[in-house]
Amino acid sequence: MSKLKKVSAHVLVCQHKTCRKQGAKASSRALKQALKESTLAGHVMITKVKCLDQCGRGPVWAVYPDGVWYGGVDEESARRIVTEHLEKGRAVEERVLHEMQPCEREER
């Protein structure tokens, strides 16, 4: 548990064959490199997932806890997501597929 204390964001990276064909490997490398060069090194968790169910819109990433889903993430936009979203808290609007909204929960 101690490792999670310093995590500020979690990026889910789709590795489905469709996203891989659309450049997921290169954008993932750019993400890792940009994080190494940033102040966020060691503070962002990256998880490769089998599928984010957005085939044809890839490479697809989901950034939490913000709940922002990105599509068409190429190497340039990968670097921008690190500098604009993860460092400054501003979504890269031209790549946003969906922004999750908090659920209203009924009182029990």
Alpha helices in the chain (DSSP H): 17-21, 24-36, 75-80
Tally of CB atoms within 10 A around 40: 17
Rounded distance between C-alpha atoms, residue 81 and residue 62, angstroms: 11
**The pLDDT of residue 36:** 95
**The pLDDT of residue 88:** 95
Q: What integer best gives the mean pLDDT of the chain? A: 90
Kind of pairing, strands 61-64 and 68-70? antiparallel
Per-residue pLDDT of the chain (108 residues; tens, 9 = 90+): 555 568 899 999 999 999 999 999 999 999 999 999 998 988 999 999 999 989 889 999 999 999 999 999 999 999 999 999 999 999 999 999 988 876 665 555
**The pLDDT of residue 6:** 85
Rounded distance between C-alpha atoms, residue 93 and residue 70, angstroms: 9
**Could you say which DSSP state residue 65 is in?**
T
**The pLDDT of residue 108:** 52
Interval 9-34: pLDDT, tens = 999 999 999 999 999 999 999 999 99
66: enclosing H helix or E strand: none
